Amino acid sequence: MSRVVVLGGTGEMGAAVSGVLRGRGHDVVAASRSTGVDATTGAGLDDVLAGADTVVDCLNLVTLSRRRAVSFFGGAATRVAGAAHRAGVGHVVCLSIVNVSDLGVRRATGYYAGKAAQEEAYGAGPVPLTLARTTAWFSLAETFLSQIRLGPVAVVPSMRLQPVHPAAAAAFLANAVEAGPSIAPGPDVRQLAGPEEHDAAAMARAVASARHPGVKVLRLPVPVAGLRDGLLPHGDLQVDGRRFADWLMEP
């Protein structure tokens, strides 16, 4: 059994990962601002990481602003890496996104630029690092419905995705924790995707039909290739077989 600190531990993925790790017998601390730990300022980091074997970064900020995303993700990672080194933590597992290193995608979206800054900040630190990159989760379709709203109309970009079940992503992160740091130099990069390609607007429309019947989805064509097709995974990756249609039917 190891002691694992999950940053962003009360968020969607942080809470899910914490639950999986506890179920496997680990001593888990779910850290967040509500527990007195703020990675954006460094408050509480030294105390919460004392005695930890692994820190899992599930911090998130939903924003379209490049400046805010880079400041949040890059700044927090720098502070966490420093605190982890001071505490003698042996392993950092960072939740990231498939294709975050693609320059076309990073130029097209501020959020990806922020996640890239996060990866770079951890990579520059001395603590052994695993980058656990997943494609978008099925639940992102819910976010699409609220991100750009005009009354009852949700405007959703027409992007190609290969989304994955959130529970698969949580188990993927827990597996990275249990695998421990790689002995090879540099970050250990792991990738996870779902089994099927989907259009983001079609996903949002399906969620609206099943769960939010008053919401209409307006498909927004995307002229930038980095966003239109650049989010589809490539290279070595694991594939979870659970389908979006089945997730829609879950309670």
Encode pLDDT of 91-114 as tens digits.
999 999 999 988 888 888 899 999
User: Is residue 206 classed as helix, strand or coil in its secondary structure?
Assistant: helix
189-228 pLDDT, tens digit per residue, is: 999 999 999 999 999 999 999 999 999 999 998 776 666 6
- pLDDT tens, position by position, 149-203: 899 999 998 889 999 999 999 999 999 999 999 998 899 999 999 999 999 999 9
Say how far apart CA 183 and CA 190 lie, in whole Å. 15
Structure tokens at 34: 């509500």
Predicted local distance difference test score (pLDDT) of residue 146: 87
pTM above 0.85, yes or no: yes
Q: Does domain 3-248 have CATH number 3.40.50.620?
A: no
Burial class (CB in 10 A: 0-12, 13-18, 19+), 156: buried
Largest CA distance in the chain: 53
The pLDDT tens digits of the residues spanning 71-92 come to 999 999 999 999 999 999 999 9
242 or 146, greater pLDDT: 242
- The domain limits of the chain are 3-248
Residue 122 reports pLDDT greater than 90: yes
